[in-house]
C-alpha cells in the first residue's frame, strides 16, 4: 500500500479489508507519564483500530532515550511515529534542543517508522543527521498555528517551505475560527503532490479530521478516549470508525450534515451515518458548527456538499440561502432541510419539522381520545406554541393546517404577534403564559431551547400551571425527558417526547437525501440506544 512516495507495505495496518475506500491512516496519540502506560495505550489503540501510534515522548516524566525508545519501538504493537514536541510548538519538552534532536536521531536508528520535526528547526535537524537516515524512516516536518488558519496562498507557501527542507511528509495544523477555514486546508491537501497531513484544530475544524479521508490526507488523528486529546477538536478512534464510517469514505463520498449553533448535542450524525451504512449509501453526515449560513453555503458550493438539516438558530437564515423553496417552507418562513439538486447544483429548501411534530402529537391524542382516523384529533383544539423561531413557525403552521386554534407565546411580543397573524391566532408574551388559563383539553408545545443540555433544570412553566394542559410536547430531545415533560406528566398531562418529532422528520429527510426508503426500525433503534 502506498501514498505518494511513502511506502507502507511493511507496516502492520489494521484495515486490509476490501471495504476500505481510502488510504488515509488513523494515528493514535500516545500520551502517558511512563513507558509501561504508553505500551498499554498502544495496545488499546490497536484494539480500537488505529494504524499508527504517535508516541509523544515529551509527556514521559523521566525519559531515558536509548532504553525507552528501544522498548517503545520494539515492543509497541503498532508502527510508531516518534514526536518529542517542545513547548515553543505546543508540546511539553522544555530542555536542551541538541538533546531533543539527538533523541529523534536515535529513534530513527532504533527503527521508528516516522519521526516528527518542527519546521522551525528542520534545516538544523537535517544538518545534524548529515544524511544518515535509514531508508525505512520517513520524516514528517510539521507546522502548528494555534491562532488561526491563514489564506490559501499563505498555507501554500508554508507547504512549499516544508517541502524544501526535504520532508517526506508535510504536516500543517491550523486553528479554525470559522467552519469555512477547513475549505482552505482541503484545497491544499487535494492539490499538493506530496503526502500531506492537513488538519484544522478546534470544534469548527472537526470536518477536516473526518474528511481527511475524502481529500486524500496521509493520516488523521483519533484519540483513545474522549477528551484526552493531543490537539483541540480531535475525535476518538471509535467515533472515526463507528460513527463516521471512516474506512468507507472515498473521493466521491457525498457530504451531508446538520447546520446549527450549538450543534455538539445533535443525535443526527448517529442516525444518518448508521442509516447510510445500512443501505449502502455513499454519504457522510457531520455536525456543522456554523456561524454564518451564507458564508458556509458560498464556501462549500461543490456538488459533493449535497444536503443539510437545519437546527437552532439557522432555520430562517437557511431559507434565505435557497435558490428555490418548497411552498410550505415559504409559508412557514423557515426550512429544516436543504437539498442540492444534482442536475444544476441549485439548493432547494423544505420544512419537515411540522410533519414530524404534528404526526407525533396526533398519534398521542388519537390514542388518548379515540378520535376517528378521518378527522385530525387537533381539529378545534386550543394549541399553545411557545417560541416564534423556525420550529415554532413550523408547528404553529402544522397545527393551523389541522384545524387547531393557535396561541403563540414568545419572549418578544412583536414576533409572537407576527406569527399569530399568519395562522389566524392569538399572541401573548412568555411572561403572560404562566397566568394563561386555557380551556380543558389544551395542548402546549415548547419549540424553544429551554431545558436543553447543559441547562437541563430550566423549564418554561411552574408545575402548577401545567395542570391546565391535556397534552404537553417538548421539541427538545437532549435530554429525552426534560424537566417540562417530567413535571407535565406528574401534573396529569399526556406527554410527547421531542425524539418523536425528531425521528419522524429524520425518516422524511433520509428519503430526500438518498432517494431510498428510510430504514425506520434501524433509525428508531439507534436513537433509543443513544437517548
Active site residue 153: no
Please confirm, yes or no, whether 43 is among the known catalytic residues: no
Exposed/middle/buried for 161, CB within 10 Å: 0-12, 13-18, 19+? middle
Catalytic, out of 46, 171, 381, 480: 171
Catalytic residue among 68, 181, 353, 474: 353
Q: Which residue among the candidates 46, 138, 144, 348 is catalytic per the annotation?
A: 144
Q: Using an 8 Å Cβ cutoff, are 326 and 351 in contact? A: yes
Task: State the catalytic residue, choosing from 315, 348, 359, 393.
Answer: 315
Rg (CA), the chain: 27
Measured distance CA(142)–CA(156) in Å, rounded: 14
In 3D space, the residue among 365, 430, 361 whose CA is nearest the CA of residue 396 turns out to be 361
Cβ partners under 8 Å of residue 150, min gap 6: 158, 174, 184
- Looking at 153-247, which runs of residues are DSSP E strands? 169-175, 196-201, 219-221
**What are the backbone dihedrals phi and psi of residue 332, each rounded to the nearest 5 degrees, phi first?**
-70, -35
DSSP 302: S
* Annotation marks residue 468 as catalytic: no
Cβ(445)–Cβ(400) below 8 Å: no
How buried is 243 (Cβ within 10 angstroms: 0-12 exposed, 13-18 middle, 19+ buried)?
A: middle
C-alpha cell at 432: 403572560
Smallest CA-to-CA distance from 175 within 196, 206, 130, 211 is with 206
132 is catalytic: no
**Residues annotated as catalytic (active site), given as ranges:** 144, 171, 315, 353
Amino acid at each position: 500500500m502506498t501514498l505518494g512516495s511513502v511506502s507502507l507495505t511493511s507496516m502492520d495496518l489494521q484495515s486490509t479489508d476490501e471495504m476500505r475506500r481510502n488510504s488515509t491512516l488513523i494515528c493514535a496519540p500516545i500520551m502517558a507519564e511512563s513507558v509501561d502506560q504508553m505500551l498499554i495505550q498502544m495496545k488499546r489503540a490497536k484494539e480500537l483500530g488505529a494504524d499508527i501510534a504517535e508516541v509523544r515522548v515529551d509527556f514521559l516524566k523521566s525519559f531515558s532515550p536509548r532504553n525507552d525508545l528501544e522498548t517503545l519501538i520494539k515492543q509497541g504493537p503498532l508502527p510508531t511515529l516518534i514526536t518529542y514536541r517542545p513547548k515553543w510548538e505546543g508540546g511539553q519538552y522544555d530542555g536542551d534542543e541538541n538533546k531533543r534532536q539527538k533523541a529523534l536521531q536515535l529513534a530513527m536508528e532504533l527503527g521508528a517508522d516516522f519521526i516528527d520535526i518542527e519546521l522551525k528547526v528542520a534545516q538544523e535537524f537535517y544538518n545534524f543527521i548529515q544524511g544518515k537516515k535509514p531508508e525505512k524512516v520517513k520524516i514528517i516536518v510539521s507546522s502548528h498555528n494555534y491562532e488561526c488558519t491563514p489564506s490559501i496562498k499563505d498555507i501554500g507557501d508554508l507547504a512549499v517551505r516544508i517541502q524544501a527542507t526535504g520532508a517526506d511528509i508535510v504536516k500543517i495544523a491550523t486553528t479554525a475560527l470559522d467552519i469555512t477555514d477547513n475549505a482552505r486546508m482541503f484545497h491544499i491537501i487535494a492539490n499538493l503532490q506530496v503526502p500531506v497531513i492537513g488538519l484544522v484544530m478546534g470544534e469548527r475544524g472537526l470536518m477536516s479530521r473526518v474528511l481527511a479521508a475524502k481529500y486524500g490526507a496521509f493520516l488523521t488523528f483519533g484519540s483513545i478516549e474522549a477528551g484526552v486529546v493531543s490537539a483541540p477538536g480531535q475525535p476518538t478512534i471509535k467515533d472515526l470508525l463507528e460513527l463516521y464510517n471512516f474506512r468507507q469514505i472515498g473521493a466521491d463520498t457525498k457530504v451531508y450534515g446538520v447546520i446549527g449553533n450549538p450543534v455538539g448535542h445533535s443525535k443526527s450524525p448517529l442516525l444518518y451515518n448508521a442509516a447510510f451504512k445500512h443501505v449502502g449509501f455513499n454519504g457522510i453526515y457531520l455536525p456543522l458548527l456554523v456561524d454564518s449560513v451564507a458564508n458556509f453555503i458560498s464556501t462549500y458550493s461543490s456538488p459533493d456538499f449535497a444536503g443539510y438539516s437545519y437546527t437552532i438558530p439557522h432555520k430562517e437564515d437557511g431559507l434565505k440561502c435557497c435558490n428555490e423553496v418548497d411552498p410550505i417552507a415559504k409559508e412557514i418562513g423557515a426550512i429544516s432541510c436543504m437539498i442540492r439538486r444534482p442536475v444544476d447544483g441549485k439548493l432547494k429548501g423544505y420544512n419537515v419539522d411540522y410533519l414530524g411534530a404534528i404526526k407525533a402529537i396526533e398519534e398521542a391524542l388519537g390514542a388518548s381520545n379515540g378520535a376517528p382516523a378521518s378527522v385530525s384529533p387537533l381539529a378545534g383544539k386550543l394549541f399553545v406554541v411557545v417560541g416564534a423561531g423556525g420550529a415554532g413557525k413550523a408547528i404553529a403552521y402544522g397545527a393551523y393546517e389541522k384545524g387547531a386554534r393557535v396561541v403563540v407565546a414568545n419572549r418578544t411580543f412583536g414576533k409572537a404577534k407576527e406569527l399569530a397573524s399568519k395562522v389566524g391566532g392569538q399572541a401573548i408574551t412568555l411572561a403572560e403564559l404562566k397566568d394563561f388559563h386555557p380551556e380543558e383539553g389544551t395542548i402546549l408545545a415548547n419549540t424553544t431551547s429551554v431545558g436543553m443540555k447543559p441547562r437541563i433544570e430550566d423549564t418554561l412553566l411552574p408545575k402548577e400551571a401545567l395542570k391546565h394542559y391535556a397534552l404537553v410536547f417538548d421539541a427538545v430531545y437532549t435530554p429525552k425527558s426534560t424537566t417540562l415533560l417530567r413535571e407535565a406528566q406528574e401534573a396529569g398531562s399526556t406527554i410527547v417526547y421531542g425524539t418523536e418529532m425528531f425521528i419522524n422528520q429524520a425518516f422524511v429527510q433520509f428519503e430526500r437525501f438518498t432517494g431510498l426508503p428510510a430504514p425506520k426500525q434501524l433509525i428508531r433503534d439507534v436513537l433509543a440506544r443513544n437517548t
